[in-house]
Amino acid sequence: MDTSPAALTELSLSAAPRTAWIFGAGASRCAPYNVPTQFSLMARFSTQPVAGATPALRQHFRDVRGRLPGWIAQVQPGRVWTDWQVSLEEVFSHYELVATQPRLHTPTQVAEARQALDDLTFALRAATAVFGGNNALKFRPFERPAGTAAPYAELVEHLLTDAGAHPPRNYAAGRHTFVTMNYDILLDRCLLHLDSRGLGVGLDYGFPLDNGRARRGADMAADGDAHFTLLRVHGSLNWARCLNCGAVFSTWAKHAQTGPGEVCAVCEAESLASIMVHPSYTRVYDDPVIARVWAGTRRALAGADRWVIIGYSLPAADVHFRALLREARARRRAQGLATEVVLVGRRPAPEENQAAPDEFERAVSEYRALFADDLRVWDATPRGFGDFVRALRP
């Protein structure tokens, strides 16, 4: 007998004093953003245009595309490298095990594994990159023609006009925290636009950046009276670290470039590296920036009455994040605090071909296992997040 409560058809923002918004790949796949989920990352990389890239970068694309089929075939020889069923966790884990167990492998195997990890990471960055200029309407809250779909921008609009508080920016920024599992900078661009419009809402990643120490021309998001905190638990396409002096930068609305010729804005060494945690069964979260973000996420969740989780299937491979959710909920319960967990998913339309209709039900079951009676499920539609954001009420 199904005793679960009826699915939500709308959500009142003011009903929860503090809300944490957690985004998975399903949020960024929504139109008009269309960032591929894990199932189509390699297919995207195999065909994505590289227009505008330097000749060296275009050559690197060709080289990596030439090597990737072989790297994936070594791990899953029964699959084509662009097949949606290729497990990136499995592939990354395999090469990490080789690279970190030099006693069990030859130096050549270890060097190959490092090359494979470099190539896979490059493909991941390229395939999740956001297309369209920073000024595209999809990144501009309050500036789009009425009705234009842009779920991230629409969400920001809802939060800032929430309950008509005065001044709305201070009120909203104090009540809402964002957490994202994704590398893309869709939400970042929306928030940065608020600042450029003079709304005085800054963006805080939950750790200090070294942009202010730059010797020349590092663009910065101006500090506002208020800021939204965006906690990026797997790193970001707009973060870079200098391996020479340790400085950590954000390139804000642009993707960070870390290849040859890119120099640190503080010490000018040519040794920038990205900050990203890739999919894997053997993920490690010991990067100091990532560790700080995780501590901030734990605090944010423990302090939020409502967690709205959008487009995230709670995969078993994310054992660390599942543990964090479990611990934060347990901490709240120990303090006698209730937590409302709202799952926002996408239910494929019947005519969608490859859609496994029970995928959403499987996610609901996973969530129910972890959150029991705290779970509330939004009545999912084929457009998912794109429709949910329009079901928000003051």
Residue 266 in the binding site for Zn ion (CB under 5 A): yes
Query: Considering the complex, what minimum distance in angstroms separates the CB of residue 389 from Zn ion?
Result: 40
Q: At residue 237, what are phi and psi to the nearest 5 degrees?
A: -75, -10
Residue 134 in the binding site for Zn ion (CB under 5 A): no
DSSP code for 242: E
Of 182 and 211, CB closest to Zn ion: 211
Cα distances (Å, whole numbers) of residue 52 to 58, 131, 339: 9, 12, 47
Partnered with residue 375 across adjacent β-strands are 341
Q: How many residues bind Zn ion (CB under 5 A)?
A: 8
DSSP code for 260: T
> Quick one: which of 20, 86, 192, 264 contacts Zn ion (CB under 5 A)?
264
Give the binding range for Zn ion (CB under 5 A) out of 81-89, 109-117, 176-184, 267-275: 267-275
> Quick one: which of 267, 277, 391, 392 contacts Zn ion (CB under 5 A)?
267
Query: Considering the complex, what minimum distance in angstroms separates the CB of residue 215 from Zn ion?
Result: 10
Residue 343 in the binding site for Zn ion (CB under 5 A): no
Residue 245 in the binding site for Zn ion (CB under 5 A): yes
Query: Considering the complex, what minimum distance in angstroms separates the CB of residue 188 from Zn ion?
Result: 23
> Is 277 in a helix, a strand, or coil?
coil
Query: Considering the complex, what minimum distance in angstroms separates the CB of residue 261 from Zn ion?
Result: 15
Give the binding range for Zn ion (CB under 5 A) out of 90-98, 243-251, 296-304, 379-387: 243-251
- Measured over the CA atoms of residue 208, residue 228, residue 325 and residue 309, the dihedral's sign is negative
Query: Considering the complex, what minimum distance in angstroms separates the CB of residue 220 from Zn ion?
Result: 17
Beta strands across the sheet bearing 235-242: 248-250, 235-242, 272-276
Residue 242 in the binding site for Zn ion (CB under 5 A): yes
Residue 244 in the binding site for Zn ion (CB under 5 A): yes
Query: Considering the complex, what minimum distance in angstroms separates the CB of residue 271 from Zn ion?
Result: 7
Q: What is the 3-state secondary structure (H, E, C) of 297-366?
A: HHHHHHCCCEEEEECCCCCCCCHHHHHHHHHHHHHHHHCCCCCEEEEECECCCCCCCCCCCHHHHHHHHH
Name, in order, each residue with C-beta under 8 angstroms of 6's C-beta and a sequence gap of 6 or more: none
Residue 218 in the binding site for Zn ion (CB under 5 A): no
Q: Which residues bind Zn ion (CB under 5 A)?
A: 242, 244-245, 247, 264, 266-267, 269
